[in-house]
Amino acid sequence: MKRLLLGLVTIVLALAIPLPAHAGKAPDNLRELSHKLGVWIGSAVDVTALAGEADYRTVLNREFTHITGENAMKWESIEAERGVYTWEAADAVVRNAQRNRQKVRGHTLVWHNQLPTWLTEGVADGSIDAKELRKILRDHIMTEAGRYRGKIRAWDVVNEVVDDDGNLRQTIWLTHLGPGYIADAFRWAHQADPHAKLYINDYNLEWDTDKINTTLNIVKDLKAKRVPIDGIGFQGHLGIQYDYPADFPNVMRQFTDLGLEAAITEADVRMVLPVTPEKLATQADYYKRMLSTCVADRRCVEFTVWGYTDRHSWVPGWFDGEGAACIMDENLNPKPAYNALLSVRKR
């Protein structure tokens, strides 16, 4: 009886003790949210702004647990002149991450865009043949991934290899090396950095059935051949003038059921200008649904926005009359989308 009474007293006292002030508290920023959700929350980084804008740098490092060099690690930035490597911008991204307890996504080793002129012109005029091109690609992957060995959480090894009709994209890589270049790229990347997670990354995978099916088949083929592929990257470039891809959770699950980890790698939600409160509310809903999709899938480990501020957004330069795609405005003030992300909870 004494034991029973003591037990009851203990329970009563425990219930009477107030919880710490922070217990159950909503997160104040995205870094806190990242820790609560168990998902890395990241942003693409404008390296010029990182170096020259103290307010940009402060907010970046306060808010994010993961960063991606927006352009710093692309081929034309790294090796604009053949054999001459320029690492300053990429190194700055990695150093910033190391100083601020952030992980890094390497973007990207193989892409058909932002290639150096010496490479594209050499292939076009025949001075670089297929044998040499394969060696150039291998050397590029081994050099870049090798330089950052142990410092990159995940690499976008191949980027946008499927076109909008669901076919393998016609690029210099496919035309001159055949489809085997994809497997080669993953093998070389793994050889250069065995600890990095290796991803295939693409846009419109959230809803485009043809692209989804082709990418699934690529992944299944790579895994059947024991090629070291670890992840699927959904870029997440959305626009509020289009319906939200409601089947996205099921699409993600098709990939994670294959044993891949998943990441939303380049999220933004653009709108036709001008900005209105109604458009901002829709934008906020889209952002929240994307993060919620990631949180609901136990294999989704990262949610990265493609730049966090409208001050430095690629959208206006690419989509005429559109913009305001980020979670903060030009003055780094949080928009409804930012607060919508903070409201996401782990299921």
Q: Which of 70, 79, 160, 206 is catalytic?
A: 160
Q: Which of 63, 144, 206, 266 is catalytic?
A: 266
Sign, CA torsion 196/290/267/113? positive
Distance of CA 172 to the CA centre of its chain: 25
Task: Give the whole-angstrom CA distance, residue 80 versus residue 119.
Answer: 9
160 catalytic per annotation: yes
With a CB cutoff of 8 Å and minimum separation 6, the contacts of 156 are: 105, 106, 107, 108, 109, 199, 200, 201, 233, 265
Task: Give the whole-angstrom CA distance, residue 267 versus residue 326.
Answer: 9
Task: Give the whole-angstrom CA distance, residue 166 versus residue 346.
Answer: 34
Sign, CA torsion 103/69/255/292? positive
Residue type, 277: P
Sign, CA torsion 217/220/226/232? positive
Structure tokens at 32: 């806190």
Beta bridge partners of 84: 81
Q: Which residue has the tokens 């060099």?
A: 69
Residue type, 163: D
| 8 A C-beta contact, residue 237 and residue 266 | yes
Q: How far apart are the first and last CA of the chain?
A: 40
- Find the helix or strand (DSSP H, E) in which 272 lies: strand 261-272
Residues that are catalytic? 160, 266
